[in-house]
């Protein structure tokens, strides 16, 4: 028993080491994109912090979602955040599953390059939206009479730059159109829908995205319009930006030795040529001659086939 456990542990360790080696090479090529995406996450938080200084509490706007969904209240506001945390952590863990599991379909670095690109584009549109029009926040800490509804004038720039994390992020006001939580949720769900392998998880992901939408409105963290705009904006952003990216390299065992690990094909072959190689055909268009199998041997054209047939008949 101990021998079996030791052998399996050794296999897992070798798999992790091999995956780390691959991902380090990809990271060396793509670190600029990852760093830019992470820096923009901070800039997005800085923009949300800044609009809080401009927020002016007022009467809650008429909203169809508020009419149909009863308010959860301050004591149950954690339900929405809990579901979002589960979705967030589950996706992060899935992107690192190639380090442990055998069924490796993705490259972690390349997936996060795509995800951060989707997030940056969506968040950029979000920043433009909530700075264009500041709506009175519907959340309990953004209403009239709350001390957190409007931030006092900062004493220094450092107070703004540090974002008062995490309290400043949780108790923000003014950054409404459109929902940041839905940007992350829809980006993660769409990414898994394309690259994930479990059908039931894909269906569960979309169901959780819908539930998350209702919980955000029920928690009065956003108006219904913030959720509606997020649904079509994020999906359109992901749809169009994803077309600009090359397809991820195939990680199947058959293609592992032919398709490049990097997004840059070091041999200069196109994706179409690689597929031809996988099918046993030449990548050179000039070599597209019909091949016929005779007695276990492959001949190049019909004339050769006739000669081979004659040989087999004794002629």
Catalytic residue IDs: 181, 222, 226
Q: Answer whether 177's CB lies under 8 Å from 227's CB.
A: no
Q: Answer whether 195's CB lies under 8 Å from 97's CB.
A: no
Euclidean distance between CA atoms 219 and 217, whole angstroms: 5
CA angle 273, 275, 278 (to 5 degrees): 115
Instruction: Find how far residue 165's CA is from the centre of its chain.
Output: 24
Neighbours of 217 (CB within 10 A): 24
Closest CA to 44 of 124, 115, 121: 124
Closest CA to 106 of 93, 119, 117: 93
On the CB side of 158, CA atoms within 13 Å amount to 0
Euclidean distance between CA atoms 199 and 202, whole angstroms: 5
């Amino acid at each position: 028993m101990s021998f079996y456990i030791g052998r399996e542990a050794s296999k897992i360790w070798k798999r992790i080491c091999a995956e780390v080696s691959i991902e380090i090479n990809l990271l060396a090529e793509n670190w600029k994109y990852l760093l830019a995406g992470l820096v923009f996450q901070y800039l997005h938080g800085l923009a949300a912090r800044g609009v809080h200084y401009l927020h002016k509490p007022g009467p809650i706007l008429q909203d169809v979602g508020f009419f149909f969904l009863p308010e959860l209240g301050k004591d149950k506001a954690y339900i929405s955040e809990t579901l979002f945390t589960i979705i967030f952590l589950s996706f992060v863990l899935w992107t690192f599953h190639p380090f442990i599991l055998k069924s490796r379909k993705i490259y972690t670095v390349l997936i996060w390059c795509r995800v951060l690109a989707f997030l940056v584009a969506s968040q950029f549109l979000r920043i433009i939206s909530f700075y264009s029009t500041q709506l009175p926040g519907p959340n309990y800490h953004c209403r009239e009479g709350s001390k957190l509804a409007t931030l006092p004038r900062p004493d220094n720039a450092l107070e703004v730059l540090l974002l008062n994390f995490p309290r400043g992020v949780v108790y923000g006001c003014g950054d409404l159109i459109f929902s940041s939580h839905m940007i992350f949720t829809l980006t993660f769900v769409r990414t898994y829908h394309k690259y994930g392998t479990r059908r039931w998880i894909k269906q569960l992901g979309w169901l959780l995205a819908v539930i998350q939408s209702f919980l955000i409105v029920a928690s009065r963290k956003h108006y219904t319009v913030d959720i509606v705009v997020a649904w079509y904006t994020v999906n359109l952003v992901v749809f169009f930006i994803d077309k600009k990216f090359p397809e991820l390299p195939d990680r199947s065992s058959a293609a592992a030795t032919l398709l490049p690990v990097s997004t840059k094909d070091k041999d200069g072959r196109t994706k179409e040529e690689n597929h031809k190689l996988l099918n046993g055909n030449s990548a050179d268009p000039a070599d597209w001659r019909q091949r016929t199998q005779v007695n276990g041997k492959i001949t190049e054209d019909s004339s050769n086939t006739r000669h081979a047939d004659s040989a087999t008949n004794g002629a």
